[in-house]
Amino acid sequence: MRTGPSTTCTVLGLGYAGQSATLRCGAVGDDGWGWYYVRNNSTGVTGFVRSDGLTGVPTSTLAC
C-alpha cells in the first residue's frame, strides 16, 4: 500500500493473501497501471494498491 498511485510513492504497509480490503476508488497511475485506493480490513491502513496486487476487483469503480 502506498501514499499515491505510483511505485515512487511512500510505502504505507503490506497486504497479505487472505486479507480483505474495502475498495474506495480507482485511478490510472503514471506507470499506466490501474491503482485502487483501499482500506485493509485487517490492519485499518488505507492507501493505493496496484491492480495486479488485488483479486476480485470490479471492472467499474469510482474515479479518485
Quote the DSSP letter at residue 11: B
Which pTM does this prediction carry?
Answer: 0.87
Q: What is the pLDDT of residue 56?
A: 82
Residue 11 covered by a domain = yes
pLDDT of 55 reads: 85
pLDDT in tens, 3-32: 999 999 999 999 898 899 999 999 999 899
Kindly report the backbone phi and psi dihedral angles of residue 41, in degrees, each rounded to the nearest multiple of 5, phi listed first: -70, -20
The residue written with cell numbers 504505507 in the block is: 12
CATH classification at residue 28: 2.40.50
CB 64 within 8 A of CB 25: yes
Whether 50 maps to a domain, the answer reads yes
Q: Which residues span the domain enclosing 37?
A: 1-54
Whether 46 has a pLDDT exceeding 90, the answer reads yes
Question: Is 3 contained in some domain?
Answer: yes
CA-based torsion, 8, 14, 20, 24: positive or negative: negative
